[in-house]
Amino acid sequence: MPDRIYNFSPGPATLPQEVLAQAAKDIVNFHDKGIGLIEMSHRSKEFMAVVDETEALLRRLMDIPDNYKVLFLQGGASTQFAMIPMNLLGPGRKASYLNTGTWAKKAIKEANIVAEAHVAYSSEESTFDHVPKTDDFTVDPDSEYLYLVSNNTIYGTQFADFPQSDKMLVCDMSSDILSRRFDIRPFGLVFAGAQKNMGPAGVTVVIIRDDLLDRAPDNLPTMLRYKTHADKGSMFNTPPCFAIYVVGQVCKWLEKIGGVAAMEEKNREKAAILYDMIDATDFYKGHARPDSRSLMNVTFNLPSPELEAEFISQATKEGLDGLKGHRSIGGCRASIYNAFPRQGVLDLVAFMKKFEQAHR
Amino acid sequence: MPDRIYNFSPGPATLPQEVLAQAAKDIVNFHDKGIGLIEMSHRSKEFMAVVDETEALLRRLMDIPDNYKVLFLQGGASTQFAMIPMNLLGPGRKASYLNTGTWAKKAIKEANIVAEAHVAYSSEESTFDHVPKTDDFTVDPDSEYLYLVSNNTIYGTQFADFPQSDKMLVCDMSSDILSRRFDIRPFGLVFAGAQKNMGPAGVTVVIIRDDLLDRAPDNLPTMLRYKTHADKGSMFNTPPCFAIYVVGQVCKWLEKIGGVAAMEEKNREKAAILYDMIDATDFYKGHARPDSRSLMNVTFNLPSPELEAEFISQATKEGLDGLKGHRSIGGCRASIYNAFPRQGVLDLVAFMKKFEQAHR
């Protein structure tokens, strides 16, 4: 086993080594203060500074305007599937949803529990191999928002451009936040579990336009109201301190290497290396339609499930780990988030060539 | 500043140094597998083993019978304040609550949003300086459960014995779980945020009797249903992996030093040292009534707020940190959870003597 494997896991996923090293140090003795990071009161000035800095970094990196709140919540994206309609809709109100994969479907299910979700588009019939263009669907005029998943981890599809709509957008960016530039102004709410591009599992970043905070019905429990957390700077109760800290460290690393624009360039290059390999042969076949290909999750098949199993097994032995596709579609998937190194992509391509020669 | 301060913070709080050291190692390279703990897929066999082991340790340490599920959830105790009535009550049903402090009051508020909370007892008029005995209150006969907070962090009170009731008990043990032996069988549900006695902030342990899992109304969002998490072994969505891992490490440490019985003995001794100091003088005055004193949070006052400020400031300079009382009652508070070392209590008592001599 090499000192460090290449981890193609879809999440939790590869983090920058310097972030891990810093976290290891701070866990035992934070800034040499004689106390470990995970022992510190969340209301200590040292930890409050961590939260403030993490928010400031996210605001700079994503160019978030002042009329948006940045919240650090718990419960993962799955909890947001419910909190969004609980806060923004409620009984008798509706929103439009683009059904582009498993996570969109789950969000639709939760919206229908507390309100009404209108499915404006679905790519389910073609095994979610693409995302729609703006002209491909019509948003219900009574919708409060248009909901979409920017990157579909399981199927390896991604919106290259966001849809145009007169409704505000609400977006699950769990698997591509901070990976490319975008203008947040058409969005009422953007959220992302941290465990792919931002940090460890355990914190969900919610960015919400402040005029939406007062929409929640009176009978919503306190912890499920965005306003509760916005009013207290994510400190209404004890936040997931360690996960927030790591998000801050990842943001620092990202800023240091040139921010989101530089990251996007690297991500485009990494993905191109892999897709070029797939397109150069008919041994490997991409799952996503070329116009919907994800820069984060590259999904592909081999000529048979047996060869796929052999491919994954051999790759693991060579230190290329986590290439098994999601159980719902099988095949292979290489998740190459922000912190995944270019060299790992080159090594995977070299392995793919070798494997093809041996097995075609 | 000494290498390591004594951290009297009420939570997040002191953790065993060997746990911090192991976490620091595993974060960078988990079990020398070439991948960091917080980068590993939650569905990898390595991480699944962490969850399984953590659950098994909790079951052994707390002697939890097979008909209880152990869940690792997010959102803190504050989310449980809502999830409990959402799952166990619902509109038109009621439960009895013992109002022994801030956290009980918050739980009562949430219960009244979705159902009805009957306050069977309140010690609010005497600034929550005590908890009731079984004979001090009557449980509403239509109650589904009797809710209590076993240890009140802010006021420094604790149930020495749990109330007897023909209703099942539901208990917030956030600040004293694993600190003393108790029989879980009268309890339908026990929960605790990890960040005092068990680990870092970011995970809440919920122990629920399995016949209660089917009580939730149909229109409850998926993530808010206990059954969702019970059916999937807390893996319905990505769990807070790092926090669960640390809970496991803390449980291992606890088992190694003799389990909950040995821990309880140490805790009783630590608390006695402090209360003996308080009782030996009228310079320091305990907030809690002696029959309700907490073994975890020792609350006390000095003759004036000015002296209290001076006491806290000088103590901090001597490496005795986090002694400021909660803003709602002021004064001083020494939180001495499981991992807080006996030597720190001895040092505090020595400081208290010195401070009294200089200022009385």
- Chain B closest CA to A222's CA: distance in Å? 7
Sequence-ordered strand ranges (E) for chain B? 6-7, 68-73, 94-99, 116-122, 143-149, 151-152, 157-158, 168-172, 187-193, 204-209, 285-286, 297-301, 320-321, 332-335
* Nearest CB partner across the interface for B1, out of A23, A34, A106: A34
Question: Could you report the per-residue pLDDT of A86-127, keeping only the tens digit for each?
Answer: 999 977 899 999 999 999 999 999 999 999 999 999 999 999
Alpha-carbon torsion (B242, A246, B336, B76), positive or negative:
negative
A172 included as an active-site residue: yes
What percent of chain B shows pLDDT beyond 90? Answer: 97
**Tokens encoding B156:** 């420094």
**If you average pLDDT over residues B96-110, what whole number do you get?**
98
Is the pLDDT at B92 greater than 90? The verdict is: no
Give residue A2's pLDDT. 54
> What does the angle CA B185 – CA B243 – CA B156 come to, to the nearest 5 degrees?
60
Q: Looking at residues A170-189, what average pLDDT do you find?
A: 98
pLDDT the model gives residue A1: 47
Task: Say yes or no to pLDDT of A264 above 80.
Answer: yes
Measuring CA to CA, which residue among B347, B331, B115, B99 is closest to residue B216?
B115
> What is the rounded distance in angstroms from the CA atom of residue A13 to the CA atom of residue B184?
38
Q: What is the pLDDT of residues B153-200, one digit of tens each?
A: 999 999 999 999 999 999 999 999 999 999 999 999 999 999 999 999
A11-60 confidence digits (pLDDT tens)? 999 999 999 999 999 999 999 999 999 999 999 999 999 999 999 999 99
User: Can you tell me the mean pLDDT for A259-263?
Assistant: 98
Q: Which domains does chain B have, with CATH numbers?
A: 6-16+259-359 (3.90.1150.10), 17-256 (3.40.640.10)
| Residue of chain B nearest A113, judged by CA positions | B219
Q: Single out the catalytic residue among A69, A94, A196, A266.
A: A196
Contacts of A41 (CB under 8 A, 6+ apart): A47, B9, B10, B11, B12, B322
Question: A341 CA to chain B: closest CA distance, Å?
Answer: 14
Count of pairs with CB atoms under 8 A, one residue in A, one in B: 217
Question: How many C-beta atoms surround the C-beta of residue B336 within 10 A?
Answer: 28
Single out the residue of A251, A23, A137 nearest to residue B20, CA to CA: A23
Do residues B181 and B60 make contact, with C-beta atoms less than 8 angstroms apart?
A: no
Select the residue of B12, B21, B195 nearest A28 (Cβ to Cβ): B21
Q: pLDDT, tens digit, for every residue of A346-358? A: 999 999 999 999 9
What is the percentage of chain A residues whose pLDDT exceeds 70? 99
User: φ and ψ at B172, to 5 degrees?
Assistant: -85, 105
Residue with tokens 């355990």: A202
Instruction: Identify the CA nearest to A148 among candidates A126, A131, A125.
Output: A131
Which residues in B lie closer than 8 A to residue A7 (C-beta atoms)?
A: 35, 39-40
Calculate mean pLDDT across residues A202-213.
98
Tokens representing B28? 């960078």
Q: What's A189's DSSP letter?
A: E
Closest CB to B238 among A2, A7, A12:
A12
User: Which pLDDT score is estimated for B1?
Assistant: 47
Q: Which is the catalytic residue, given A129, A172, A176, A321?
A: A172
For all residues of chain B together, what is the average pLDDT? 97
| Strand-pair partners of B97 | B119, B147
pLDDT at B44 exceeding the cut of 70: yes
B242/A199 touch (CB, cutoff 8 Å), yes or no: no
Chain A residue with Cα closest to B195: A39
Of A11, A110, A201, the CB nearest to B222: A110
| A166: CB partners within 8 A, 6+ apart | A139
Whether A76 and B34 lie within 8 Å, measured CB to CB = no
Verify whether the Cβ–Cβ distance B236 to A199 is below 8 Å: no
Residue that is written with structure tokens 């940045």 in the block: A70
Contact B82, B113 (CB under 8 A): yes
Best residue in A17, A29, A238, A250 for a mutation probing chain B (most B CBs within 10 Å): A238
- Name the band, by pLDDT with cuts 50, 70 and 90, for residue B2: low
Residues of B with Cβ-Cβ distance to A106 under 8 angstroms:
222
Question: Catalytic positions of B, please?
Answer: 103, 172, 196
CB nearest A221 (choices: B9, B24, B114):
B114
Q: pLDDT digit string (tens) for B211-261?
A: 999 999 999 999 999 999 999 999 999 999 999 999 999 999 999 999 999
Record: contact A9-B238, CB cut-off 8 A? no
Query: Does ipTM come in above 0.95?
Result: yes
Kindly state the DSSP code that residue B126 receives in the 8-state scheme: G
**What is the predicted pLDDT for the residue at B154?**
97
